[in-house]
C-alpha cells in the first residue's frame, strides 16, 4: 500500500473513482443518518403508550391518544425504511460506478503491461484481484458505508434517550457497551488488519493454483499423473486450511466475551431495579425501567454492526491495496524515437534475464542469429530457458543484459504496435473467446473481410471443424454444447495468426495438447503458416524439428549445442541423447498399447 494512498484513506480513493457520482455517496449517508434517528422514534411512542396505560390505572376510557401514538410509531418506522431505501438507491448507483471505473482502469492498465507479467503473477491471482477486490469496494459503498453512518448516528440518539428518561439507568446500560467496545478494539486492531491480509493472500494463492491446476488437467490425463503431482495446489489448500483453523481458534474466547458483554445489558438493569425499588416501586421508575428494557437491545445490534464494519473497512483497505499493487506495475518503457526493423531477422547478443525472486538466470548470456525466412528450433530439458528466450522476441519481458534485435533493431526501440504487427506468438494452450469462430479468427486483423477469414480457416486445416456445425463460422464457441478439442482450438488460433500475416512466427510447443487425430492437421497448418516467414519453434516432440535450419539446445539458460538435426546426431551429445530417449518413449508407448 502506497504512502499516498494511506494519507488519502480508503474513502478518498473510492470517491475518486466515483467522479460526478460521488454526491450520491454523500447523499446516501445523509439519508442513512436521518433513517437511523427516525428508527428510534417508535420506542418513544411505545413509551408514551405504556405511560398512558399505567396512568389510566385500569380506566382506559381516559386514554385518548393510544391509537395516535400507535400510528405514529408505525408511520415513523415506515418513513425510516423509505428514507433508508432511498439512501441505498443512491449508494448503489455510486457503488456500481466505482466498481465499473475501477475494473475499467485496472483492465486498461493490464492491457498496457507485457504478457510476461501474467505468467509471473498468475492469471488466477490477477482475475481475483480485478473481480473480487473491486466487488468488495462495491459492497462497502453500497451497503456498509451507509450502514456505518447509521450505526454511528444511532448511538448519538441512543445516548440522548438513555440519559433523558433516567440518567442512572442510562449510565448502567452503558457498562456492557463499554466492555464490548474494549473487547472489540482488541479484535479489530492492527493485528486483525495483518490477519486479514494473510487471509486474502491465502485465498489468492489457492485461487491461482486452482486455475493453473485446471489448465494442467490435459497433462494429467496424458501422462497418467495423479492430483498429488500438483503439489503447489494441494499445498495451497493445506496452508489455507491450517491458517483458517488457527485463526478461528484464536478468536473463540474474544468473540465469546464480546457476545456475552453486549447481550448482558439487562444484568445492570435488573440489579438497579432491585436496589432502587427496595423501599417501594414508584410508577415513574417502573415506566422508565420498561423503556430501558425495550430499548437497550438496540445496543447489542448496533455494536455488532460496528464490529463487522471495522472488519469490512480492513477488507476494503486490503482490496484497494491489491488494486494499487496492480496499477503500480509499470509497463515496459517505450521510446520517443521508434526505429523500423530493416528485415525479419532475429538476433540475440549476450542476452541475460532472470525472473523476480529466482536464484539464477533463466537466460544466461546467450547469442545466436536467425536470418530472415529461416526456421530455428529451441529444444532442451525443462527449465532450460526456451520459453523465456521466445518470449523475449515478442517482448513479453525486457532483457536485463545484452540485446534482442528484430531486423537489426533492439526490440526496446521498436514501437509496440509495430512489434506486435511483426511478431505473432502461438501459445501451447491458445485460448478462444466465447464468441463466433468468425470473430475469434478476425481478432488477428479486425478489418478483415468474411472471405479473408474463410481463406485463413481453410489454410489452417479448419474445414472439417466448420462443416460439423450447422452455423459454420458463425457458431458461437462454448454455448449450447459447442466445444472444441485442444487440437481444434489450436487450429482456430493458427487461422487467427495466418490472418494477422506477421512476418515472424513464434511457436511455443504448439502441438503439446493436440490429440493424435488433430496433430497431423496442426502440423499441416504450421507448414502453411511458416511459408515465407521467420519461425522460432519450441518443441519437446523432437521429430517435429528435424527439418529446422538450425536447432539450439538450451540447458540451464545457456546454449549447450547448435546445428542441424544431422550435425547434432553425429556429435552424440545432449541432443542425440534426448532424441534417442524420445524415440524410445514413443516405441514403449506403442508397445504398451499393442
pLDDT digits (tens, 9 = 90+) for 458-480: 888 888 889 888 888 998 887 77
- pLDDT at position 559: 92
Highest mean pLDDT of the ranges 423-432, 452-461, 481-490 = 452-461
Distance separating alpha carbons of residues 173 and 170, to the nearest angstrom: 5
Instruction: Choose between 171 and 573: higher pLDDT.
Output: 573
Residue 517 pLDDT greater than 90, yes or no: no
Q: What is the pLDDT of residues 123-135, one digit of tens each?
A: 667 777 787 777 7
Residue 93 pLDDT greater than 70, yes or no: yes
Residue 412 pLDDT greater than 80, yes or no: yes
What band does 79 get if pLDDT is binned at 50, 70 and 90? very high
Q: Chain-wide mean pLDDT for the chain?
A: 79
- pLDDT at position 198: 72
Of 373, 425, 359, 370, nearest to 397 by C-alpha is: 425
- pLDDT at position 222: 45
**Full-model pTM:** 0.63
Average pLDDT of span 259-282: 72
What band does 36 get if pLDDT is binned at 50, 70 and 90? confident
Instruction: Choose between 180 and 369: higher pLDDT.
Output: 369
What dihedral do alpha carbons 135, 138, 142, 144 form, nearest 10°? Answer: 70
- pLDDT at position 73: 87
Instruction: Choose between 201 and 403: higher pLDDT.
Output: 403
- pLDDT at position 96: 87
**Alpha-carbon radius of gyration of the chain:** 34
What band does 591 get if pLDDT is binned at 50, 70 and 90? very low
Average pLDDT of span 387-407: 89
Residue 166 pLDDT greater than 80, yes or no: no
- pLDDT at position 3: 45
Kindly report which listed range (21-30, 66-75, 138-147) carries the lowest average pLDDT score: 138-147
> Are the beta carbons of 150 and 237 closer than 8 angstroms?
no
Residue 280 pLDDT greater than 90, yes or no: no
Average pLDDT of span 258-284: 72
Residue 345 pLDDT greater than 90, yes or no: yes
Residue 290 pLDDT greater than 80, yes or no: no
Q: Is 87 helix (H, G, I), strand (E, B) or coil?
A: helix
- What are the structural domains of the chain? 3-327 (1.20.1560.10), 346-593 (3.40.50.300)
User: What is residue 230's DSSP assignment?
Assistant: -
User: What is residue 339's DSSP assignment?
Assistant: -
Distance separating alpha carbons of residues 532 and 294, to the nearest angstrom: 86
Burial 87-106 (b: 16+ CB within 10 A, else e): bbebbbbbbebbbebbbeeb
Average pLDDT of span 337-349: 91
Residue 110 pLDDT greater than 70, yes or no: yes
- pLDDT at position 366: 92
What band does 563 get if pLDDT is binned at 50, 70 and 90? very high
- pLDDT at position 143: 78
Residue 161 pLDDT greater than 80, yes or no: no
Distance separating alpha carbons of residues 489 and 404, to the nearest angstrom: 31
Strands 363-370 and 346-353: antiparallel
Average pLDDT of span 261-274: 73
Q: Which three cell numbers stand for residue 19?
A: 467522479
Residue 1 pLDDT greater than 60, yes or no: no
Instruction: Choose between 66 and 562: higher pLDDT.
Output: 562
Distance separating alpha carbons of residues 25 and 5, to the nearest angstrom: 20
Q: What percent of the chain has pLDDT over 70?
A: 78
Query: How many beta carbons lie within 10 A of that of residue 268, not counting itself?
Result: 18
Instruction: Choose between 129 and 219: higher pLDDT.
Output: 129
Question: 3-class secondary structure for 283-314?
Answer: HHHHHHHHHHHHHCHHHHHHHHHHHHHHHHHH
Query: How many beta carbons lie within 10 A of that of residue 370, not counting itself?
Result: 22
Amino acid at each position: 500500500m502506497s504512502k499516498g494512498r494511506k494519507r488519502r484513506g480508503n474513502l478518498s480513493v473510492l470517491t475518486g473513482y466515483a467522479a460526478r457520482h460521488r454526491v450520491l455517496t454523500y447523499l446516501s449517508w445523509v439519508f442513512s443518518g436521518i433513517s437511523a434517528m427516525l428508527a428510534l422514534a417508535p420506542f418513544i411512542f411505545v413509551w408514551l403508550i405504556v405511560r398512558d396505560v399505567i396512568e389510566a390505572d385500569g380506566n382506559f376510557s381516559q386514554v385518548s391518544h393510544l391509537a395516535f401514538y400507535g400510528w405514529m410509531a408505525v408511520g415513523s418506522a415506515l418513513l425510516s425504511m423509505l428514507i433508508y431505501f432511498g439512501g441505498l438507491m443512491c449508494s448503489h448507483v455510486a457503488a456500481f460506478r466505482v466498481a465499473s471505473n475501477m475494473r475499467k482502469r485496472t483492465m486498461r492498465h493490464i492491457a498496457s503491461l507485457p504478457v510476461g507479467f501474467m505468467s509471473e503473477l498468475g492469471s488466477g491471482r490477477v482475475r481475483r484481484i480485478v473481480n473480487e477486490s473491486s466487488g468488495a469496494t462495491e459492497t462497502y459503498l453500497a451497503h456498509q458505508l451507509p450502514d456505518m453512518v447509521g450505526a454511528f448516528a444511532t448511538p448519538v440518539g441512543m445516548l440522548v434517550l438513555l440519559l433523558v428518561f433516567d440518567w442512572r439507568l442510562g449510565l448502567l446500560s452503558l457498562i456492557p457497551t463499554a466492555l464490548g467496545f474494549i473487547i472489540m478494539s482488541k479484535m479489530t486492531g492492527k493485528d486483525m488488519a495483518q490477519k486479514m491480509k494473510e487471509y486474502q493472500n491465502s485465498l489468492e494463492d489457492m485461487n491461482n493454483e486452482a486455475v493453473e491446476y485446471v489448465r494442467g488437467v490435459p497433462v494429467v490425463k496424458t501422462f497418467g499423473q495423479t492430483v498429488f503431482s500438483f503439489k503447489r495446489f494441494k499445498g495451497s489448500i493445506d496452508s489455507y486450511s491450517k491458517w483458517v483453523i488457527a485463526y478461528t481458534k484464536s478468536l473463540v474466547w474474544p468473540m465469546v466475551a464480546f457476545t456475552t458483554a453486549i447481550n448482558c445489558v439487562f444484568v445492570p438493569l435488573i440489579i438497579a431495579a432491585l436496589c432502587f425499588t427496595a423501599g417501594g416501586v414508584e410508577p415513574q421508575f417502573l415506566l422508565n425501567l420498561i423503556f430501558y428494557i425495550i430499548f437497550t437491545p438496540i445496543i447489542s445490534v448496533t455494536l455488532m454492526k460496528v464490529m463487522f464494519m471495522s472488519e469490512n473497512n480492513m477488507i476494503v483497505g486490503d482490496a484497494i491495496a491489491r488494486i494499487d499493487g496492480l496499477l503500480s506495475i509499470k509497463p515496459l518503457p517505450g521510446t520517443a524515437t521508434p526505429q523500423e526493423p530493416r528485415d525479419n531477422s532475429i538476433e540475440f547478443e549476450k542476452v541475460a534475464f532472470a525472473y523476480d525472486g529466482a536464484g539464477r538466470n533463466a537466460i544466461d548470456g546467450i547469442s545466436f542469429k536467425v536470418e530472415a525466412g529461416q526456421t530455428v528450433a529451441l529444444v532442451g530439458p525443462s527449465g532450460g530457458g526456451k520459453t523465456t528466450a521466445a518470449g523475449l522476441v515478442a517482448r513479453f519481458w525486457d532483457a536485463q543484459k545484452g540485446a534482442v534485435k528484430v531486423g537489426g533493431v533492439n526490440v526496446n526501440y521498436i514501437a509496440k504496435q509495430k512489434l506486435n504487427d511483426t511478431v505473432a506468438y502461438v501459445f501451447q494452450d491458445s485460448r478462444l473467446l466465447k464468441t463466433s469462430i468468425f470473430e475469434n479468427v478476425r481478432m488477428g486483423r479486425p478489418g478483415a473481410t468474411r472471405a479473408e477469414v474463410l481463406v485463413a480457416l481453410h489454410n489452417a486445416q479448419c474445414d472439417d471443424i466448420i462443416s460439423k456445425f450447422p452455423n459454420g463460422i458463425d457458431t458461437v464457441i462454448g454455448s449450447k454444447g459447442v466445444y472444441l478439442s485442444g487440437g481444434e482450438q489450436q487450429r482456430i488460433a493458427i487461422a487467427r495468426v495466418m490472418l494477422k500475416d506477421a512476418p515472424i512466427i513464434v511457436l511455443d510447443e504448439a502441438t503439446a495438447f493436440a490429440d493424435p487425430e488433430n496433430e497431423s492437421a496442426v502440423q499441416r497448418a504450421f507448414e502453411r503458416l511458416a511459408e515465407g516467414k521467420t519461425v522460432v519453434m519450441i518443441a519437446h516432440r523432437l521429430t517435429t524439428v528435424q527439418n529446422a535450419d538450425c536447432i539450439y539446445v538450451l540447458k540451464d539458460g545457456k546454449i549447450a549445442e547448435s546445428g542441424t538435426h544431422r550435425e547434432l546426431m553425429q556429435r552424440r551429445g545432449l541432443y542425440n541423447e534426448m532424441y534417442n530417449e524420445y524415440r524410445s518413449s514413443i516405441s514403449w508407448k506403442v508397445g504398451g498399447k499393442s
